[in-house]
Structure 1
């Protein structure tokens, strides 16, 4: 259930699943409560609570408490903050996460600063955490003048950023510095070139492929990337990119294209291809990712979309088909089909595959006005 009541936005979610012997899962209840209140002109304060009565590992209840504050001043000054804490049996201490972020998004100048902390035992079991046990400090500065003396050039962008990540004891894990030069053209095309200098500390072996495994060590490497984006107003648009540089203890070169072709006002195709050539001390490999997304708009309230993607590294073929119908304003019906297939097993090929997973989902929403 979602809705608004005066300055308040309210969201409630409750899901109950049954036992599954084949998936080795127990009956589980998921609950989420979210309340947000508007304040001042464009600011807000919110709280959230989540509860899962069956842990993914072990027995017990997982709970999360959180609060967030967003302050917006003028047209381009933003402060974003949150604090969250989890409670999981046998995971006490270092179980919080918090962030403070400042953004100045002026047309000529831009500044961003951020501090983020995620504790070792921060464990929201409704949702996910990509990385734990770290502190991140990030800063970015942009200078973007609009030269009047060059008629075909809309804006130049000079940008630099610095990302510094340590564990909770202060040991450096990741450091990344970027310098970027970008040109926005009057025809809405864009071109940029960017240099990235990186350090990555591997506390354990890192598997690039099943045959190429990087040992524990600290690695310094860098690369340069250039990209040209064709404006979305074109019938055939997209972006071309090229990357060359070092990668851990070797080299990596990437080239690719991701685009969109409008066949008719109702039908569009979005092809994608990228090729990565990696050569490190432990071995070399080439990964090719090929895919295409199609979309067909039946009416302003109904569309059908499909995605087909092949990854040569994992030798997987993935399919996703989604149908949406807004049968009345604010109320929707979704039907989604997905499957994943393995083409690398013995006796199988790209044209004769083995099914690895399959799902079929129907979602129904109804807007109630009162």
Structure 2
């Protein structure tokens, strides 16, 4: 087998040593002189708590906080900075009040700001991009298990972003939709908000009386990059970290009602195109719907009939110059909700470098249900999901039935998941999945997995799993396993992992991007906070990611030395150099007509990425990568630019250019996209997205208009087109109007 190598241009060990030494030295200089002398340690300070106040006086949600009921609630304040100066008192005062009655929670907040007109609002649409905006937020751990939560974020114009989280922020479901009513007001020296959250939108155990819930509040002032919390958090944590939250105590007499929601839909549309499944071609008028029922206070049943996702935004294309597949994110509401209950695989941990993520392996991938490999819909007859808690176990059951579409047979998909908390903030679990054709063929694929996620001493985590696949053909029988350990403190961030996937491992309802290997991964680095006016944090680190065959023969590796610089008040520059090795046992075609032959390849590259501050109307990012690519070279330029002339409109552009030169011929792989978003109000907004990919030679257009005319009730108008520019064949063109109506009881 031929061996290809390029001259060594980077001295990785010396660079890594220099980066670590420089950052450690900078850290030793201590905190800046302009900071207060008495910060608290978020890891050691006692968690705050307060006693909930029940009200019998009506609260009118208008953003003013002038109802008499608010006077009875304790004022929660003394927020502590997470950024930029961890542990110091917040510079911008926040006052929070909480009330409740039998059916609602009421949150009131006064967000003091000497110049409230300068508060930054980014978007009026639901689930706005909260990282770019001033926000106030509240997160609830309704079972006080210190693991799962419901989050509500509000910007100064009253837009809401809500999320559901599992496993102490390990799984975050950003597309979860709760019911809430919010009003905000701008004052001379503050902006204020009032929020009502119906208890029926949350899950809790009404049989417990009185109750204690975990709770935390967040405030962000974007123009100075200040993020502060009521229950202090170290800078590596997010608001969802419920193991670090405070508590709301003495909650009594809560009622969930019948906890029944019915959401029917009516749809009219038309679809044409070469890749549209035959059952979806032509004009279509249809009805269907979803039902949600609280079987017990802690167990929820979801049913769906004639399931439709025509309002979902299309997948964004990518340029893939690797040998491995790509996992696209789930965007369909039914599968997103409570998805964390079914997760088993390479789960990432925020602010830990783990060497793998769910894009490498997950035992359950809901995109296997009702979608072709090209992301086009396969009709779903219906199904059900049961999630919640039973006798100390977190449980998840899912069963879905698809219909025949072209060459795709009718299939049944079933998943069962159980998980139990141990040692406080750790868990063990099991998952079983079955994919079976329900036609005469009877083909099946089954997979089983066990996992354990152990957290010790707060910052040391040990993750492991073992999975088996079993199918009607032996070519899909195999195993996968992993064990990893990681530590993240104030200074050090280090982890190690071992993973093994057999040649024939093939989970039929999962995703695995690589088979037949052993993986060894290790990394170490520091997070230094130097006494430098313009620098917030320096993060130098090194990584080694090594793959071998199952017998130990070298397969590939990537050795990295990197430096991440976080500026003050925000912005980021990342510099990295990489040493690659890859053994090709078969020819590899990264671009149509361009192949890389069998061989052993050593190559190196360097990359720089800059992300600007997002405090101004124009912001963006840029990246350049130069170096070798197998037996050739590759220069990649990429970037994105966003312009927000006002809070309710934005223009976004992205571009990536790959200039590759190989002995088999040169090529350019380009990906360009443009997005326009406009929100008339917090209930009426639209977007248009256009993207062109020269690698797949495809042009995609997606335009959506959404009107939320009542809680969780919407009207959608959607247009989608996919065109192959090489053959000039239209793969898909569809237009649909869909109306949903949610009724809660």
Q: TM-score range by the shorter chain?
A: 0.7 to 0.9
Q: 1:366 to 1:206 in 2, by over 3 A?
A: farther
User: Aligned ranges for residues 273-312 of structure 1 at < 5 Å?
Assistant: 273-297=655-679, 304-312=686-694
Among candidates 44, 55, 63, match of residue 427 of structure 2: 44
1:1-370 equivalences under 5 Å are 1-5=385-389, 7-20=392-405, 23-54=406-437, 60-91=443-474, 95-148=478-531, 150-297=532-679, 304-321=686-703, 338-345=720-727, 348=728, 354-357=729-732
1: CA distance, partners of 2:631 / 2:447: 41
Instruction: State which drifts further: 228-237 or 114-123.
Output: 228-237
Q: Give the stretch that moved more between structures: 327-336 or 24-33.
A: 327-336
**What displacement does 1:52 show?**
0.8
3-state DSSP of counterpart to 2:408? coil
71 and 333 in structure 1: CA distance in 2 versus 1, 3 angstrom threshold: farther
Tell me, yes or no, if the aligned pair for 1:310 and 1:318 is still in contact at 8 Å: yes
CA distance in 1, matches of 2:677, 2:632: 40
User: Aligned equivalents of 2:515 and 2:682: distance in 1?
Assistant: 43
Q: Does 1 or 2 have the higher relative contact order (CA < 8 Å, sep 6+)? A: 2
Distance in 2 between residues matched to 1:299 and 1:290, nearest whole Å: 29
> How big is the shift at 1:278?
0.6
Unaligned runs of 5+ in 1: 349-353
Q: Cα gap change, 1:154/1:9 in structure 2, threshold over 3 Å: closer, same or farther?
A: same
Partner of 1:351: none
Query: SS state of the match for residue 121, structure 1?
Result: coil
CA distance in 2, matches of 1:68, 1:331: 38
Q: What is the distance in 1 between the residues matched to 2:587 and 2:649?
A: 46
Cα separation, 2, equivalents of 1:332 and 1:13: 26
Stretch of structure 1 that moved more, 159-168 or 32-41: 32-41
Task: Quote how far apart the aligned CAs of 1:242 are.
Answer: 0.8
* 1:81 to partner: Cα distance: 1.1
The CA deviation string for residues 302-328 of structure 1, in whole angstroms up to 9 with x for no partner, is: 754443210123221123456777788
Contact 2:469 2:477 in 1 (8 A): no
Most deviating of 301-310 and 76-85: 301-310
Judge conservation of contact 1:54–1:62 (CA < 8 Å) in 2.
no
The verdict on how the C-alpha distance between 1:324 and 1:127 changes in structure 2, with shifts beyond 3 A counting, is farther
Determine if contact 2:411/2:435 at 8 Å carries over to the other structure.
yes
Distance 2:684 2:421 in 1: 33
Structure 2 spans left out of the alignment, 5+ residues: 1-384
Could you tell me how far apart the structure 2 residues matched to 1:233 and 1:277 are?
A: 33
**Cα distance, 1:249 vs structure 2:** 0.8
CA contact (8 A) 1:179 1:195 kept: yes
How many angstroms does 1:269 deviate by? 3.0
Task: Give how far 1:365 is off.
Answer: 11
1:29-62 deviation line (CA, Å, top 9, x unaligned): 111122222333322222211111129xx85221
User: What is the CA–CA distance in structure 1 between the aligned matches of 2:680 and 2:538, rounded to whole Å?
Assistant: 40
Could you state the TM-score of these two structures normalised by the residue count of structure 1? 0.86
Distance 1:102 1:324 in 2: 44
Secondary structure at 1:71 match in 2:
strand
Q: Which has the larger strand fraction?
A: 1
| Alignment CA distance shift 1:257-1:297 (3 Å) | same
* Residue 13 (structure 1) shift: 1.9
Distance 2:673 2:661 in 1: 24
- The CA distance in 1 between the partners of 2:743 and 2:519, in whole Å, is 40
Q: C-alpha displacement at 1:223, in angstroms?
A: 0.5
Q: CA deviation at 1:70?
A: 1.1
Q: Within 2, Cα distance between the matches of 1:104 and 1:199?
A: 28
Q: Is the 8 A contact 1:156 1:184 kept in 2?
A: yes
Change (3 A) 1:108 1:206: same
Please say if residues 3 and 10 of structure 1, whose CA atoms lie closer than 8 Å, have aligned partners that are also in contact.
yes
Q: What do the CA deviations read for 1:256-305 (whole angstroms, capped 9, x no partner)?
A: 21233334323333310011111111110112210023444565577544
Deviation at 1:173, TM superposition (A): 1.6
3-state DSSP of counterpart to 1:53: strand
String of CA shifts for 1:171-214, please: whole Å, max 9, x gaps. Answer: 22211100012211112111121100100111101112222111
Q: Per residue, is there more helix in 1 or in 2?
A: 2
Rounded to whole Å, the distance in 2 between the matches of 1:44 and 1:360 is: 45
3-state SS of the aligned residue for 1:287?
A: strand
Contact in 2 for aligned 1:229/1:238 (Cα 8 Å): yes
Alignment RMSD (CA, Å): 3.0
Shift of 1:116: 1.3
Distance 2:660 2:703 in 1: 32
Query: How many residues were matched structurally?
Result: 358
